[in-house]
Amino acid sequence: MASASGQSVALEGRLAGLSLRRQVAALAVWPFLELVLHALVGFMDTAIAGRLDDPAALDAIGVAAYVGWLVGMLHNAVGIGAGALIARAVGGGRTTLANAALGQAVLIALAWGLITAGAIALLAPWIAAIFSLPPGTHEMAVVYLRVLAVGVTFNALMMAGNAALRSAGDTRTPFLVMALTNAVNVGASVLFVFGPKPWGGYGVAGIAAGTVVAWGVGMLLSLGVLASGKARVRLRKRRLRPHAHTARRIVRVAWPSLVENSGMWIGNALVGTIVGLLIARSGQDGLMGAHIIAIRVESLSFLPGVALGIAAATLMGQYLGAGDAEMARRATHVCWGAAVVLMGAMGLLFIALPEPIAALLAPGEAVASVREMAVPLLRIAGTIQVFFATYLVLSQALRGAGDTLGPMVITYSSTFGVRLPAAYVLGLVLDLGLTGVWIGLCGELIVRGGVYAWRFHRGAWRRIEV
């Protein structure tokens, strides 16, 4: 099926008149640059902690990173639910529905952000305790989390606004929003950590405070653009009244993604617990820091995959909204192929040059042992980038089609049936340490990529109603 007339349809707005490859490029390039900036902020947070010359600070930032990922995963669910509805509405020329979905998404994001913020502030000591850290490191992590909680609602609203813009086909504006947000993050964190009193000298709490300020700026920018009327969707005051039918449509798509993202985080937190058990068994400082350094570096490799996945989700939603499932399939294949090439090339760099790459985050002599532990982890990660690319693009394409239940089932099955058992057995039972944990983690991505390839090519996503 192409369309009701059997012909490929043309999209409107910024994508009008572009070839399929140029549509992919137009949608992917700005998210890619945005993700690069975001990764650099994560790099900077870790690098700032590394320059405190205290392995405990690196470990505390490592735990805090897990919570930062949780915040992003939880809030992303609202964007996925609203984005699927907005993309189809825009693709079908239904501006009123798109604006209604945006208003409800903002309300849902506000409520969800307040709940998330309260939970993090209240549960900070227990969250930090999951990772079996020494007392000093535990206290640092708790302080970081409670400061971060102040800005969590800002993050929820910013992410919902940016997701709406992307789903409407505008990926450039979210990039500009995040570029300024990330610049504020880095500048504020450096000021609060290394600046003169009373502005600076706050250690890991200063890093968290920089993030809070940046999220506030990002929220104001994103919602300001949507309220200005310059985007294809507009935030109007009358759309901020609760509308049960539209909210239910968003939640119907969002809840499986929320459950999936929660499962992913629980799985990642349990991986952190396994690393904590390794720390308790060996008494070796820096294991969590090495684990996080490897994750931060690997995050560079999957930036193209995530950006191309965003493009795939947008094109999938808009082409399905316009009634052209075949073009939706072709667009996804273009995104998938590009991700495989780009991430595969990054994987080769990880295999060939792990030492200098790890040194970017842990350059000092005081953390040399942490750097050395990260090197074999990068080599392992380099070997599975093609499978990782497959998972990233096809999972987002399916979500763009409104298929969020299938990815939820895949995530839980793969995480708790393969990922965690493999990491535990290889790392602790077979005593392969942190290297064994990473062999298990990366092996699971091979399985996950294969399952997503199978599900996408079954084609059931063509028949999903949003």
* Residue that has been written with the tokens 């192929």 in this structure: 337
Closest CA to 113 of 207, 223, 199, 231: 223
Q: Which residues of 225-241 are buried (b: 16+ CB within 10 A; e: fewer)?
A: bbeeeebbbbbeeebee
User: 132: how many CB neighbours lie within 10 A of its CB?
Assistant: 18
SS3 (DSSP) at 229: coil
* Cα within 13 Å of Cα(295), Cβ side: 20
φ/ψ of 380, rounded to 5, equals: -60, -45
Residue 304 buriedness (CB in 10 A; 0-12 / 13-18 / 19+): buried
Would you state the torsion angle of the CA atoms of residues 322, 327, 333, 338, taken in this order, to the nearest 10 degrees? Answer: -80
Count Cβ atoms below 10 Å from residue 243 Cβ, excluding itself: 15
Residue from 54, 63, 31 nearest 171 by CA? 31
pLDDT means per 10 residues, the chain with 466 residues, are 47 72 89 79 74 73 78 87 88 88 95 95 89 80 92 95 90 90 91 90 88 95 93 89 91 86 84 87 79 84 91 90 89 96 95 87 69 90 96 94 88 94 96 94 96 93 80
- Contact by Cβ (8 Å): 389, 445: no
Quote the CA–CA distance of 34 and 159 in Å, as a whole number.
13
- Residue 352's CB: how many other CB atoms inside 10 A? 10
**What are the distances in angstroms from CA 234 to CA 243, 370, 385?**
16, 48, 38
Q: In the structure encoding, which two tokens stand for residue 322, read together?
A: 């316009």
Residue given tokens 């609202």 in the structure block: 78
User: To the nearest 10°, the Cα dihedral for 372, 202, 194, 59?
Assistant: 10
Report whether 250 contacts 104 (CB < 8 A): yes
Residue 286's contacts (CB-CB under 8 Å, 6 or more residues apart) are 55, 58, 59, 367, 369, 370, 373
Structure confidence at residue 333 (pLDDT): 96
Residue type, 155: N
Residue 6 has a pLDDT of 42
Read off the tokens for 421.
């058992």
- The pTM score is 0.73
Angle, helices 55-91 vs 95-129, to 10°: value is 160
Distances (CA, A) of 123 to 70, 72, 317: 13, 17, 37
pLDDT of residue 10: 61
Helices in 130-283 by DSSP H: which ranges? 135-149, 152-167, 172-194, 203-228, 244-282
Residue 397's contacts (CB-CB under 8 Å, 6 or more residues apart) are 309, 312, 313, 316, 332, 335, 336, 456, 461
Token code pair at residue 100: 């209604």
Residue by residue, DSSP assigns 140-171 as HHHHHHHHHHTTHHHHHHHHHHHHHHHHTT--
- Planar angle of CA 442, 444, 447, nearest 5 degrees: 125
Q: For 10, list phi and psi in degrees, rounded to 5.
A: -105, 135
Calpha distance 109→247 (Å, rounded): 11
Q: CA 424, CA 433: separation in Å to the nearest integer? A: 9
Q: Which of 267, 307, 304 is nearest to 422 (CA)?
A: 267
Cβ-based neighbour number of residue 128 at 10 Å = 24
Quote the tokens at residue 246: 């539209």
The residues near 434 (Cβ < 8 Å, ≥ 6 apart) are 275, 278, 287, 290, 291, 373, 377, 427
Which residues lie closer than 8 Å to 3 by C-beta, 6 or more apart? 9, 322, 323, 324
